[in-house]
Amino acid sequence: MTEDSYPRTRRFLQGRSRDALDVRERSLLESLVDEVQQFTSPHTILKRGDVQDRSTILIEGTVARVIHEGGKRHIVALHVPGDFVDLHAFTLKRLDHDVVSMGAVRVGYVTHDALTRVLETEPNLSKMLWYSTLLDAAMHREWIMKMEHLSAHGRLAHLMAELWQRLTFVDLAGESGFALPLTQQELADSCGTTSIHMNRVVRKLRETGVVDISRGQVTILDFDELKRVGAFDAAYLYGEGPLKLI
Amino acid sequence: MTEDSYPRTRRFLQGRSRDALDVRERSLLESLVDEVQQFTSPHTILKRGDVQDRSTILIEGTVARVIHEGGKRHIVALHVPGDFVDLHAFTLKRLDHDVVSMGAVRVGYVTHDALTRVLETEPNLSKMLWYSTLLDAAMHREWIMKMEHLSAHGRLAHLMAELWQRLTFVDLAGESGFALPLTQQELADSCGTTSIHMNRVVRKLRETGVVDISRGQVTILDFDELKRVGAFDAAYLYGEGPLKLI
DNA sequence: CGCAAGAATTAACATATGTTAGGGTTTGTG
DNA sequence: CACAAACCCTAACATATGTTAATTCTTGCG
């Protein structure tokens, strides 16, 4: 597959299941994207309660799924390119959370009518769409585990390890790190803590030579230690073959 | 629908989508259950890493999805009758967590071959199976939010409110409470805290007249207060029509 | 270049929760 | 009924994290 093949959907399930889709299905999926949109400033792409007639695939950038509660913002999932961010709304009808861009993003849209036709005529592609929502659920479970089990220190380490692995799947991780347009406040919202405490944690992980997070750039300093502190085991990400990072 | 109709699967999606399945589809689903099994003592029904050729629907009792990490047991989901507990394994192939019975349970099995045939010939039933896994994911997200946002006090209140609502969906809640075969240790494992602290929290919720949890029986004393303490809003459960408990 | 807004950082103090230790109570079973 | 094994409960102390309040550092923009 060249860099130009399937420019909007080629990262869908990339790194997860090499043979999930054949050429015809890949090409069909690509053709389903009937509009592409760009957002630069932080933007709420979808709002809780919205009833959509199309779903959104992330092409470029980072988006968060956000639940507002008690005047606070809680990030319950982060997405990387290739992820459908609201495929579940196809079946659930309305969203139970907001979808917010973190920095500049580019997204594509697939109508629910098109998805209905897929469900009626493309059992394998249907199964792979289902599969992608189950990967989200597996990540959700891991996040529950980490919230139950880990201190803020471990939660941040786990998050960095997960993002590095997921960006590696889709060929967007660098040699020793990756770009991440999240402020310390947003990292705090992703780890269920405050920005003040997140600042302590970021500093400590930097000082102890585990990972450096600054100015939107994450540098992995000691991946073994990062995995240990974050109790990270990539099995729940269902990567194909032997995982690079294990 | 009489009490005897579809004895193994009639609680599937009950309370969620009244018209999700027509009579033919209901009957087809019922016929897919090719074996029923009972467990009395606490039992690990499915193990992490298992590759199954069938999925499991809970007919009676309570089961937990468990992730073991750092020598501790973390409950990341609880299931009530009508729930498929490992439908995701049909597509993900292997389980990322254990499935454990809490007290006595009865489960039914549906082979993956049968599910593949459903996917090929029954688009609506397929969509409803998908839907049920998306309900799980929505609950996962709510759990992440509650772990990020709430104290142990609020987490327990939220859990009790959620279970009461879900058992109400499937007609298994009593007038003012429900049976729950979980020890304080297991409640602690569901809330990400210790049994010592869970004991403090259980006592406080009892003393303040919110909810009484003792000897496997939960009695709701003040549901408005329970919802407030647990920041509970049932929207994420996608119940049909106006929810009884709201 | 200079300003304003947001972001990062630090300090001091309050509190929820974890840890360790132990005693009491219930429940199932021979 | 007696016993063991869970389970429930409590206390004392240590620590991670929240809260409030400032100060400095970046960054974007006129």
Cβ of B120 within 8 Å of Cβ of A119? The answer is no
User: Where does CATH 2.60.120.10 sit in chain A?
Assistant: 23-145
Q: Using N-to-C axis directions, what is the helix angle for A184-191 and A152-169, rounded to 10°?
A: 100
CA–C1' A196–D20 (A): 11
Average pLDDT over residues B25-39: 95
Query: Mutate which of A120, A122, A148, A227 to disrupt the B interface (most B C-beta within 10 Å)?
Result: A148
Contact check, Cβ <8 Å, A130/B91: yes
Kindly tell me if the per-residue pLDDT of B244 is higher than 60.
no
CATH 1.10.10.10 residue ranges in chain B? Answer: 151-237
Q: Identify the DSSP state of A151.
A: -
Specify the length of chain A in residues.
246
CA–CA dist A240, B136 (Å, integer): 24
Per-residue confidence band for B215, with pLDDT thresholds at 50, 70 and 90: confident
- Structure tokens, A48: 């809780």
Distance of C1' in C28 from CA in B114, Å:
42
Bigger pLDDT: A40 or B131? B131
Would you tell me how many other CB atoms lie within 10 Å of the CB of residue A113?
A: 10
pLDDT tens digits, one per residue of A130-150:
999 999 999 999 999 999 999
pLDDT(B223) > 60: yes
B67 inside 8 A of chain A by CB: yes
Task: Taking residues A51-57, report their average pLDDT.
Answer: 95
What would the 3-class secondary structure string for chain B be?
CCCCCCCCCCCCCCCCCCCCCCHHHHHHHHHHEEEEEEECCCCEEECCCCECCEEEEEEEEEEEEEEEECCEEEEEEEECCCCECCCCHHHHCECCCEEEEEEEEEEEEEEHHHHHHHHHHCHHHHHHHHHHHHHHHHHHHHHHHHHHHCCHHHHHHHHHHHHHHHHHHCCCCCCCEEECCCCHHHHHHHHCCCHHHHHHHHHHHHHCCCEEEECCEEEECCHHHHHHHCCCCHHHHCCCCCCCCC
For B160-174, what is the mean pLDDT? Answer: 95
pLDDT of residue A20: 84
Query: What is d(CA B64, CA B86) in angstroms, rounded to the nearest whole number?
Result: 11
Chain A residues with beta carbon closer than 8 angstroms to that of B131: 91-92
Question: Could B88 and A137 be called an inter-chain contact, meaning their C-beta atoms sit closer than 8 Å?
Answer: yes
Residue A231's closest CA among A183, A144, A126, A161? A161
Protein CB footprint (7 Å) on chain C nucleotides: 6-12, 16-21, 26-27
Name residue A11's amino acid. R
Q: How many whole angstroms separate alpha carbon B50 and alpha carbon B97?
A: 9
Structural element, H or E, at residue A197: helix A195-207
Closest to B87 in 3D by CA, of B126, B36, B41: B126
Query: pLDDT higher for B136 or B43?
Result: B136
Residue of B nearest to A188 (CA): B148
Mean pLDDT of chain B: 93
Copy the structure tokens of residue A80.
């990387």
pLDDT at A245 over 60: no
User: Which residue is nearest to the C1' sugar atom of C7, using CA?
Assistant: A183
Residue B207 pLDDT class (50, 70, 90 cuts): very high
Are B134 and A92 an interchain contact pair (Cβ–Cβ within 8 Å)?
yes
CA of B71 to C1' of C21 (A): 21
Question: For residue A119, which residues of chain B lie inside 8 Å, CB to CB?
Answer: 123, 126-127
Q: How far is the CA of B104 from the C1' of D6 (A)?
A: 17
Q: Is 70 exceeded by the pLDDT of residue A127?
A: yes
Whether B246 has its CB under 8 Å from any CB of chain A: the answer is no
Nucleotides of D under 7 A from a protein CB: 6-12, 16-21, 26-27
Please name which of A222, A30, A47 lies closest in space to residue A108, comparing C-alpha atoms. A30
User: What CA–CA distance (Å, rounded) separates B66 from B99?
Assistant: 6
Minimal Cα distance from A134: which residue of B?
B88
The rounded mean pLDDT for chain A is 93
What pLDDT was estimated at residue A241?
Answer: 66
Query: How many whole angstroms separate alpha carbon A85 and alpha carbon B221?
Result: 39
Beta-carbon-side half-sphere exposure of residue B1 (alpha carbons within 13 Å): 14
Pick from A56-60, B153-157, B237-241: least confident: B237-241
Taking the model in full, what pTM does it have? Answer: 0.94
Instruction: Read off the pLDDT of each residue in B117-143 and give the average, rounded to a whole number.
Output: 96
- C1' nearest to CA of B215: which nucleotide? C26
Q: Establish if A236 touches chain B: CB-CB under 8 angstroms.
A: yes
Between A38-47, A84-93, B26-35, B65-74, the lowest mean confidence (pLDDT) is in A38-47
Cβ atoms < 10 Å from Cβ of A53: 10
Position A40 confidence tier, pLDDT thresholds 50, 70, 90: confident
Cα radius of gyration rounded to whole Å, chain B:
18
Specify the pLDDT at position A240: 85
Sort out which chain A residues have CB atoms less than 8 A from B235's CB and list them.
49, 96
The beta-carbon neighbor of A140 closest among B49, B123, B141 is: B141
Q: Which chain A residues have a beta carbon less than 8 Å from that of B149?
A: 69-70, 72, 74, 192
Distance CA A81, CA A15 (A): 12
Report the alpha-carbon distance of residue B62 to residue A197 in Å, rounded: 38
pLDDT band at residue B241, thresholds of 50, 70 and 90?
Answer: low
Averaged over A166-176, what is the pLDDT? 93
Where are the domain boundaries for CATH 1.10.10.10 in chain A? Answer: 150-237
**Strand C neighbours with CB under 7 A?**
A 183-185, 195-196, 199-200, 202-203, 214; B 151-153, 192-194, 196-197, 201, 215
Residue A54 pairs with which residues in a beta bridge?
A111
Number of residues assigned to chain B: 246
What is A23-145's CATH number? 2.60.120.10
**Contact indicator for A186, A198 with CB cutoff of 8 Å:** no
Question: Quick one: what percent of chain B has pLDDT higher than 90?
Answer: 87
State residue A4's pLDDT score: 74
Q: Which of A64-68, A108-112, A214-218 is predicted least confidently?
A: A214-218
What pLDDT, on a 0 to 100 scale, did the predictor assign at position A246? 47
Q: Is the pLDDT of residue B164 over 70?
A: yes
State the CATH class of domain B151-237. Answer: mainly alpha
How far is Cα A46 from Cα A35, in angstroms, rounded to an integer?
A: 16
Q: In this predicted structure, what is the pLDDT of residue B246?
A: 47
pLDDT at B212 over 80: yes
Segment A61-80 shows an average pLDDT of 95
b/e A10-36 (16+ beta carbons within 10 angstroms → b) = bbbbbbbbeebbeeeebebbbebbeee
Question: How many C-beta neighbours within 10 Å does residue B46 have?
Answer: 21
pLDDT over 80 at B23, yes or no: yes
Mean per-residue pLDDT, A116-136? 95
Report whether pLDDT(A163) > 70: yes
A73 closest CA partner among A98, A56, A94, A103: A98
Which CATH topology does A150-237 take?
Arc Repressor Mutant, subunit A (1.10.10)
Three-state secondary-structure class, residue A57: strand
Interface test with chain B among A76, A129, A134, A233, by most B beta carbons within 10 Å: A134
* Distance in Å, residue B36 CA to nucleotide D9 C1': 40
Closest chain A residue to B143, measured at CA: A144
* pLDDT per position as a tens digit, A183-234: 999 999 999 999 999 999 999 999 999 999 998 999 999 999 999 999 999 9
- The distance between the two most distant Cα atoms of chain A, rounded to a whole number of Å, is 55
CA of A195: nearest nucleotide by C1' is C8
Matching residue, tokens 């969620």: B16
CB-CB neighbors (< 8 A) of B154 in chain A: none
- Average pLDDT, integer, range B113-118: 96
Q: How confident is the model at residue B161 (pLDDT cuts 50, 70, 90)?
A: very high
Q: What is the 3-state secondary structure (H, E, C) of B121-178?
A: HCHHHHHHHHHHHHHHHHHHHHHHHHHHHCCHHHHHHHHHHHHHHHHHHCCCCCCCEE
